Structure 1
Amino acid sequence: MSMGAQGNPRWIAAILAQSWLVLLVRTALVSAYVIGGLAKLAHFHAAVLEQEHFGLHPGWLWATLAIVVELGGSACVIANRLVWLGAGGLGALTAVAMFVANDFWNLEGDAHFIALNSFFEHLGLIAALVMATCLAGVKPSAGHASSIRT
């Protein structure tokens, strides 16, 4: 098998070099936040009740904050502008959700298993947001899998 510059098979390197791929991946990364923010915006009363259900008061303030962070942070990541701010906000929101909604240490049985999995899925998402921030100034090129944009 023929290998590319970064040790990837050439066909993988060819896919990674596509100009549209990074935009698609950034969009996919924040897609749950976009959908969540739009859903909260469309059903604000339900969003308020959700926040209050998890003990976050006043619910209207937390729901508004969630909408602003989910939509604004997603826009920053997708546009590749102020990614540190957008991804940081999304990561902080996700951390709050991890500890408030996925408190596996307080649960038993199936509920423990489900919350434990969700907790670590959220942790992985935070790691991906950190990685997106690290790669914000990097763009792929045909000869090099990652070259710094100047």
Structure 2
Amino acid sequence: MIAARRNPRFVDAILDWPATAPLARLALVGAYLLGAVVKITDFQGATAEQAHFGMTPPAFWAALTIAVEILGPLLILTRRWLWLGAGMLGVFTLLAAITANAFWSMPAGHDRFMATNAFFEHVGLIGGFVLVALLDRRERGA
């Protein structure tokens, strides 16, 4: 049996730094916040994006996407109902990945390769949302 090793001191210093967790949460949700800002400033483009993916009515789906991309990150960043924000973004991310990156329905080639990578990157984000909710629960002693 291999004895457990401690982290190197510099790793412990980074993990123990009070700003590490909030910055990690911001890194996890930053793209969603940026997406919301872009969609708000170009609502016509956001609506066209929803129409491109067959979502009807597209304006409703664009508005709902903006709401999720703002509310989910705020819940995670403030740690108020973090589990709900993580769940919202996790479900949203899964639905977006299935809708926008359906690699299984594409012929072999570059586009399929790119869609496959994007799909599994989204799955990785979903894992991040699960982990942030688990860590928050553990930190709160629940």
Asked if TM exceeds 0.5, the reply is yes
Distance 2:55 2:6 in 1: 48
Q: Which has the higher helix share?
A: 2
Q: What are the within-5 Å matches in structure 2 for residues 139-150 of structure 1?
A: 139=139, 148=140
1:149 Cα deviation from its structure 2 partner: 5.3
Distance 1:15 1:120 in 2: 28
Q: Give the corresponding residue for 2:53.
A: 54
Farther-moved stretch of structure 1 (79-88 vs 6-15): 6-15
Distance 1:33 1:21 in 2: 20
1:137 Cα deviation from its structure 2 partner: 3.7
1:87 Cα deviation from its structure 2 partner: 1.0
**Deviation beyond 3 Å, 4+ runs, structure 1:** none
Distance 1:126 1:48 in 2: 25
Question: Aligned partner of 1:30: which letter?
Answer: V
- Deviations 1:57-89, CA, capped at 9 Å, x for gaps: 110111111000001100111111111111111
Q: TM-score, normalised by structure 1?
A: 0.87
Secondary structure in 2 aligned to 1:19? coil
Distance 1:149 1:58 in 2: 43
Q: What are the within-5 Å matches in structure 2 for residues 113-124 of structure 1?
A: 113-124=113-124
**Gaps in structure 2 of 5+ consecutive residues:** none
Question: Aligned partner of 1:8: which letter?
Answer: N
Distance 2:78 2:137 in 1: 12
Distance 1:136 1:61 in 2: 32
1:136 Cα deviation from its structure 2 partner: 1.4
Q: TM-score, normalised by structure 2?
A: 0.91
Q: What RMSD in Å do the two structures reach over aligned CA positions?
A: 1.6
The 1:36/1:6 distance shift into structure 2, 3 A limit, reads: farther
Distance 2:132 2:8 in 1: 23
Question: Aligned partner of 1:65: which letter?
Answer: L
